């Protein structure tokens, strides 16, 4: 299986900078690399673009993400994205692209602080793409992979929950 990962930043990637005393969104894939090291049966193509907290994403950033997906020769795509505006980006992609299997994922807690949640969310996407799935825009968070319009961040609980 060949999977294209478009890493756009967000909490998933954040790391503590001891000199500045704060968490930063890096432009590298260190968080992702630690997960991928346990994958021995997938050919990954990784693109790192935008590299922002999703609260700071602009319309231009979303166009860039959209173009990156359109330009991918591969039709199995995982997008790592900040949790605050993943609903906006995925809605845009859903509207514009319908010939690929696109799975958004991310994390509420940085991989560098706690490895279980980020690893789970990314691996849910991989497991879903191992099945025969229809083209569409999906989201993989907190135990499930569903159509991207059907899983919503509950900001009080800090959890992505399936809408009724």
Judged by the rule CB under 8 A, the positions of this chain that interact with its own copies are 1, 11, 16, 18-19, 21-23, 34-35, 37-42, 84, 108-110, 112-117, 119-133, 140, 142-146, 151, 155-162
Is 54 assigned to a binding site? yes
DSSP per residue, 24-44? E--SS-HHHHHHHTT--S-EE
The closest alpha carbon to 124, from 149, 151, 98, 100, belongs to 151
Q: In whole angstroms, how close is the CB of 67 to its own copies at the nearest point?
A: 27
Q: In whole angstroms, how close is the CB of 90 to its own copies at the nearest point?
A: 16
DSSP per residue, 48-102? EEEEE-GGG--HHHHHHHHHHHHT-S-SEEEEE--SSSHHHHHHHHHHH--SSEE
Is 90 assigned to a binding site? no
Is the Cβ of residue 74 or residue 96 nearer to its own copies in the bound state? 74
Is the Cβ of residue 41 or residue 71 nearer to its own copies in the bound state? 41
Catalytic entry in 4, 8, 11, 105: 11
Cα atoms found within 13 Å of the Cα of residue 5, Cβ hemisphere only: 24
Is the Cβ of residue 24 or residue 28 nearer to its own copies in the bound state? 24
User: Is 11 one of the annotated active-site residues of the chain?
Assistant: yes
Q: In whole angstroms, how close is the CB of 139 to its own copies at the nearest point?
A: 11
- CA pair distance 138, 125, nearest whole angstrom: 9
- Partnered with residue 137 across adjacent β-strands are 102
Q: In whole angstroms, how close is the CB of 126 to its own copies at the nearest point?
A: 6
Is 53 assigned to a binding site? no
- CA pair distance 137, 58, nearest whole angstrom: 20
Task: Retrieve residue 30's tokens.
Answer: 């260190």
Is the Cβ of residue 28 or residue 56 nearer to its own copies in the bound state? 56
Which residues are catalytically annotated? 11
Annotated binding site for substrate: 54, 83-84
């Amino acid at each position: 299986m060949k999977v294209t990962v478009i890493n756009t930043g967000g909490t998933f990637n954040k790391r503590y900078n001891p000199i500045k005393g704060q968490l930063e969104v890096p432009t590298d894939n260190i968080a992702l690399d630690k997960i991928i090291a346990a994958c021995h049966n997938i050919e990954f193509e990784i693109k790192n673009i935008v590299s922002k907290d999703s609260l700071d994403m602009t319309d231009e950033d979303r166009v860039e993400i959209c173009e990156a997906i359109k330009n991918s020769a591969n039709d199995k795509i995982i997008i790592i994205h900040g949790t605050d505006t993943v609903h906006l980006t995925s809605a845009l992609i859903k509207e514009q692209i319908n010939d690929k299997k696109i799975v958004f994922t991310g994390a509420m807690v940085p991989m560098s602080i706690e490895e279980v949640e980020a690893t789970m969310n990314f691996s849910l996407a991989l497991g879903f793409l191992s099945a025969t799935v229809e083209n569409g825009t999906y989201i993989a968070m907190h135990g499930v992979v569903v159509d991207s319009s059907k899983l919503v961040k509950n900001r009080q609980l800090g959890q992505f929950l399936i809408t009724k």
